[in-house]
Chain A
């Protein structure tokens, strides 16, 4: 058995007062307060119109928007909880049901829509894709910064959850300036943008969020 007293002496001698991390609910509230306005500003250049809530399918679109917000909050809260050692987020199976409900809402809103108009739809889909990326990028920076403060024993999982939260929040922002009914290509591009945001969050944040044993604090 090695004597660790020398290391402990060094660590305790260098210990400065630290500011405790906020409770998760406060951290999530702070994240929403910072990320949503930044996301909206980030995507402002791609913002072409406001949703006309008098169109058919508006009720389903509102329900999908609310579910997106709830799922976004849930995923971010899980990411922050998981980043704290010894804490487990609520089982992911509780998120599965709302995700399925969100998918069903979007699919049912899509089938009611008129037939897609080919290349024009693709252009619209690409616009949606870019909108979600533009809205999500500032949120990625804010999320990585938030997770950098606590680090995580499970960086990939924490970042993937944060990425899901970002994807749902971006999708919520998009539905504020989108037709109430979805087209197939549109929806596929929304999903592609969500997956891109999750991947980008994991790839960009991994280095910053990983907990290493170095003594820089």
Chain B
């Protein structure tokens, strides 16, 4: 990554300004880092969707531990360590997720409901059956197609909290769908 190395020469200064609260410098830095993060993550993960998710998680992790960066040191090893760890975590998690995972199940659930009830009203009914927090997360992730990381940032929650809300929403939707089928 010779190009990245050359560009990264300005990053320590930008990060120092970001640590001091300079929002513009931080914005510029994060945007500049995305291609480098993508290159690092792609070395470990082939799936494009997962790569983009890991990029977002890396950005969130960088945001969370930005106070641990020492501007006297090169920034790329710091970013690379975070991105690699996030990529490995994502791969491990994917390996573990043989059980029903929120996304697919929720899509399936929503699709089934739409077929049965034909349309937006049915979807609204379903979502209306969910508690407010669960509904907001489902809307963010599945209707507005935000990533889990984006939904977490928007709701000011941790990723695991978002996943847990989605999982509970899925269970509730499934229960709701079953109840509907039994009635009809």
Q: Does A11 contact B (CB under 8 A)?
A: yes
Binding site for A on B (CB under 8 A): 18-21, 23-24, 26-27, 30-31, 34, 38, 48, 52, 55-61, 63-70, 73, 77-82, 85-86, 147, 149-150, 152-154, 156-161
Q: Which of A3-18 contact B (CB under 8 A)?
A: 4-13, 15-18
Interface on chain A toward B: helix, strand, loop, or mixed SS? loop
CB 8 Å contact bits of A1-37 with B (1 = contact, 0 = none): 1101111111111011111110100000000000000
What CA separation (Å) do A84 and B27 show in the bound complex? 23
Interface residue total, chain A, C-beta cutoff 8 A: 35
| CB pair B64 A213 closer than 8 Å | yes
What CA separation (Å) do A9 and B63 show in the bound complex? 12
| CB pair B56 A153 closer than 8 Å | no
CB 8 Å contact bits of A161-184 with B (1 = contact, 0 = none): 000000000000000000000000
Closest to B64 in A: A217
Q: Does A51 contact B (CB under 8 A)?
A: no
| CB pair A211 B64 closer than 8 Å | yes
Contact A212/B159 with A15-B21, A17-B19 known, Cβ cut-off 8 Å: yes
Q: Does A150 contact B (CB under 8 A)?
A: yes
| CB pair B64 A215 closer than 8 Å | yes
What CA separation (Å) do A151 and B80 show in the bound complex? 16
Interchain Cβ contacts under 8 Å between A and B, 5 examples: A11-B26, A86-B79, A215-B60, A215-B63, A215-B64
Contact partner, A11, options B21, B153, B161, Cβ 8 Å: B153
What CA separation (Å) do A5 and B27 show in the bound complex? 9
Residues of B within 8 A of A118 (CB): none
| CB pair A15 B160 closer than 8 Å | no
| CB pair B23 A13 closer than 8 Å | yes
Q: Which of A6, A16, A83, A215 has the most CB of B within 10 A?
A: A215
| CB pair B67 A21 closer than 8 Å | yes
Listed from nearest, the 9 A-B pairs whose CB atoms lie closest are A214-B158, A17-B21, A12-B27, A86-B77, A18-B67, A213-B60, A86-B81, A213-B57, A153-B85
Closest to B148 in A: A213
Contact partner, A21, options B24, B68, B85, Cβ 8 Å: B68
Contact partner, B63, options A21, A153, A154, A217, Cβ 8 Å: A217
What CA separation (Å) do A7 and B27 show in the bound complex? 10
Contact partner, A15, options B18, B58, B159, Cβ 8 Å: B18
| CB pair A214 B60 closer than 8 Å | yes
